Structure 1
Amino acid sequence: MHMRSVLMAAMLVGAAAPLGASEATFEAIKVEAGAALFSAECRRCHAPEATDASYGPPLAGVVGRRAGGMPDFAYSEVLAGSGIVWTPAALRVWMADNDGFMPGTRMRHVGIEDPTVQDFILAYLMSLGGGDSAE
């Protein structure tokens, strides 16, 4: 994650939130920042929707979905047999260090360790359907 992306997302959240803004406004700003970060960090391999071409599985509905559970995608045996569900907590660990979390998967990426960036990306993923914000 480039520090410039993190700073830009943080500025979006801070600058776009007027004094006294509602929780819904803050959530909308987080989703917008998360969409920008998703485009910069995740979109090169993952599409949001199944109708869009991507190397990895689409991520709409990923929150609350069983790992390896997207029909018609060839997951690694390790991921498909893991038995985990993509909760916000599991997705945070995955974003930070998927190789450490689940050695033997095919996904390779630079870790997203900043919890604020994770918050934004999770807000965006949750806006795509599936799950809720509870960890």
Structure 2
Amino acid sequence: MAAPAGDVAAGRATFRAGCASCHQVGPSARSGFGPQLNHLIGRRAGSLADYAYSPAMKGSTLVWNEQNLAAFIRQPERVVPGTKMRFFALGYDERRIANLLAYLRSEPGEAQQPARP
């Protein structure tokens, strides 16, 4: 079954309500309580130099794609056991997850350099 395409405006609202307290996205995004989310799809999990990831996330071999990111949003601990991420607001609402992913894809924020191994 194909995932819904998602609505960018609805995803922006979901991000503001559920993600923005910990994460930033966009041209001036920086890591803070959580890592910034610019160019997340295709990025190795735990790879930004400016964020103190959990050992579990740093040791992960995960490369973010829409499927594993959606699974992580649903159940962070199941995808990366030992992660610091605690988020349950979207649960299994596939439409809201698709909207959030559409918004993250749409943001033209600056890429940051991954941490060097």
In structure 1, the gaps of 5 or more residues are: 1-26, 131-135
Map 1:44-59 to 2 at 5 A.
44-49=21-26, 51-52=28-29, 54-59=32-37
CA distance in 2, matches of 1:90, 1:121: 14
Percent identity for Structure 1 against Structure 2 = 37
1:126 aligns with 2:105: yes
1:31 aligns with 2:8: yes
More helix by share: 1
SS at match of 1:93: helix
Higher relative contact order (CA 8 A, sep 6+): 2
Give the TM-score of the pair, scaled to structure 2.
Answer: 0.79
CA distance in 1, matches of 2:51, 2:14: 24
Hey, what does 1:82 align to over in structure 2?
60
How far is the alpha carbon of 1:49 from its aligned partner? 3.7
How far is the alpha carbon of 1:62 from its aligned partner? 0.6
Give the TM-score of the pair, scaled to structure 1.
Answer: 0.69
**How far does the alpha carbon of each residue in 1:49-84 deviate from its partner, in whole angstroms, 9 at most, with x for none?**
473453100111111111011122111111111111
Hey, what does 1:109 align to over in structure 2?
87
SS at match of 2:75: helix
Q: Which runs of 4+ in 1 moved over 6 A?
A: none
How far is the alpha carbon of 1:36 from its aligned partner? 0.5
CA RMSD of aligned residues (A): 2.1
Change (3 A) 1:117 1:111: same
Task: Give the count of matched residue pairs.
Answer: 103
How far is the alpha carbon of 1:129 from its aligned partner? 4.6
Amino acid at match of 1:42: C
Amino acid at match of 1:64: G
